[in-house]
Amino acid sequence: MKILVLNPNTSQGVTDKIAAVARRAAAADTELEFITAPYGVPYIATRTEALIAGQIALEVIAEREHEWDAVVLAAFGDPSLSALREIFSIPIIGLAEASMLMACPLGRNFSIVSFSTNLQAWYRECVEWHKMDNRLASIRMLDKPFNDVNAVQSDFEDMLVDLSLRAIQEDGAEVIITAGAPLAGLASRVRDRIPVPVIEGVAAAVGMAEAMCRQNPRAPETGAFKRPVAKESSGLSDTLTALLSNK
């Protein structure tokens, strides 16, 4: 089983964090490949940036889709997940999606905790798209400026723990999701400081991708993720042109 873990951000440092968690989580016979976005932004925080990242993901996956059995889309807001699912045949698992699904057996609800209020609107839309708002206790975000996305995890660890405790006490959260690829690895480290389960999202996504591959689901011939009919286009990149034309 070969899984692409795609970081749609341009930060290699974030990819390194993701890779460390993914490797620990994967089964012995799972092969992982990691790709960092070749262009775009260092970390996606908004719908606009997610829109751009979605197109990057389209192009990256289209180039070599046949080489992987599944893709983990390693950005918490699951950018353009529905587009990727309809156009590609292999399973695509989102980081937010896997985190939320894994949280379900662990509590009746969850809170999402992350490092920047700028992410809030995007994350909320992601939760709603997954129809998981009936499980959402709250989204809580730090409101601190930062210089280096690679350092937010270590710089803000204590504040993120505090924020998690407030989500538990004030919002009744039964599970904490530390959201955002730059926080990969944090959940395992703060496990003993937070009195409810904390989801390690990348591990959840790898586990879900593995379980999904074992299901070996067939491509749907109907419904939301049916492969679109071929479409002629103009002015797009060769990769996108070929993808849309089903070639």
Residues in 14-73 that interact with a second copy by CB under 8 A: 25, 27-29, 38-42, 45-52, 54-55, 58
CA distance 111 to 160: 12
Kindly indicate which of the ranges 12-20, 156-164, 178-186, 229-237 contains the residues binding a second copy, using the contact rule CB under 8 A.
229-237
* CB within 8 Å of 150: residues ≥ 6 apart: 11, 13, 14, 17, 182
CA distance 6 to 220: 24
Give the nearest distance from C-beta 116 to a second copy in angstroms.
9
CB 170 within 8 A of CB 111: no
- For a second copy, which is the closer residue by CB, 16 or 129? 129
SS3 74: coil
Give the nearest distance from C-beta 16 to a second copy in angstroms.
18
* Residue 246 within binding range of a second copy, rule CB under 8 A: no
Q: Determine how many CB atoms are found less than 10 A away from the CB of residue 231.
A: 10
CA distance 89 to 84: 9
Give the nearest distance from C-beta 75 to a second copy in angstroms.
14
Tokens of 52: 């751009």
* Residue 91 within binding range of a second copy, rule CB under 8 A: yes
Residue carrying the six token digits 């586990």:
207
Tokens of 214: 């074992």
| Residues from 137 through 156 that contact a second copy (CB under 8 A) | none
- For a second copy, which is the closer residue by CB, 34 or 123? 123
- Supply the DSSP symbol for 91: -
- For a second copy, which is the closer residue by CB, 17 or 94? 94
Kindly indicate which of the ranges 12-20, 150-158, 177-185, 213-221 contains the residues binding a second copy, using the contact rule CB under 8 A.
213-221
* Residue 200 within binding range of a second copy, rule CB under 8 A: yes
Backbone phi, psi, residue 188, to 5°: -65, -35
Kindly indicate which of the ranges 12-20, 151-159, 168-176, 178-186 contains the residues binding a second copy, using the contact rule CB under 8 A.
168-176
CB 106 within 8 A of CB 77: no
- For a second copy, which is the closer residue by CB, 18 or 199? 199
* Residue 164 within binding range of a second copy, rule CB under 8 A: no
| Residues from 92 through 121 that contact a second copy (CB under 8 A) | 92-94, 97, 101-102, 104-108, 118, 121
